[in-house]
C-alpha cells in the first residue's frame, strides 16, 4: 500500500483530501445504482456515521447523499478520523 500512502500524503500536503477513507468511490457505494447514497450505503464506508451527521451533509434534505454531498461528507470524515490501513 505504499503507493496509496504516498498518494494520501501528497494530497494532504496539497491541502486536498480525496475521497479515500475506505478506497471506495461514490459509484462503489451506490449498491442499487440509483445515483444517490442512502445512509445504509454510506455506512459501508463510514460505519460510525449517525443520522445527525448524515443529515448535516444531506444539503437538500432528500434523505440521500448525491455525489457532491457525499464528497463533502467524505472530506469531513477523512479529516476527523485516523487513517486506517489494513496492510
Ligand atoms: Ca443508492
Ligand atoms: Ca441529498
Nearest ligand to residue 28 Cα = 1
What is the pLDDT at residue 50? Answer: 94
CA of 29 to the centre of ligand 1 (A): 7
Nearest ligand to residue 34 Cα = 1
Burial class (CB in 10 A: 0-12, 13-18, 19+), 32: exposed
Q: Tell me, which fold does domain 19-80 have in CATH?
A: Recoverin; domain 1 (1.10.238)
Q: Enumerate residues with CB within 5 Å of ligand 1 (an ion).
A: 30, 32, 34
What is the distance between the terminal CA atoms of the chain, rounded to a whole angstrom? 7
What is the pLDDT at residue 78? Answer: 84
The pTM for the full model equals 0.66
pLDDT (tens digit, 9 = 90+) per residue, 17-68?
444 455 789 999 999 999 999 999 999 999 999 999 999 999 999 999 999 9
Residue boundaries of the structural domains of the chain: 19-80
Amino acid at each position: 500500500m505504499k503507493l496509496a500512502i504516498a498518494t494520501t500524503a501528497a494530497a494532504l500536503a496539497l491541502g486536498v483530501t480525496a475521497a479515500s477513507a475506505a478506497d471506495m468511490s461514490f459509484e462503489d457505494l451506490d449498491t442499487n445504482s440509483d445515483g444517490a447514497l442512502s445512509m445504509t450505503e454510506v455506512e459501508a464506508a463510514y460505519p460510525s456515521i449517525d443520522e445527525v451527521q448524515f443529515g448535516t451533509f444531506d444539503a437538500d434534505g432528500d434523505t440521500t447523499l448525491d455525489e457532491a454531498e457525499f464528497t463533502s461528507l467524505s472530506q469531513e470524515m477523512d479529516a476527523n478520523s485516523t487513517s486506517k490501513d489494513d496492510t
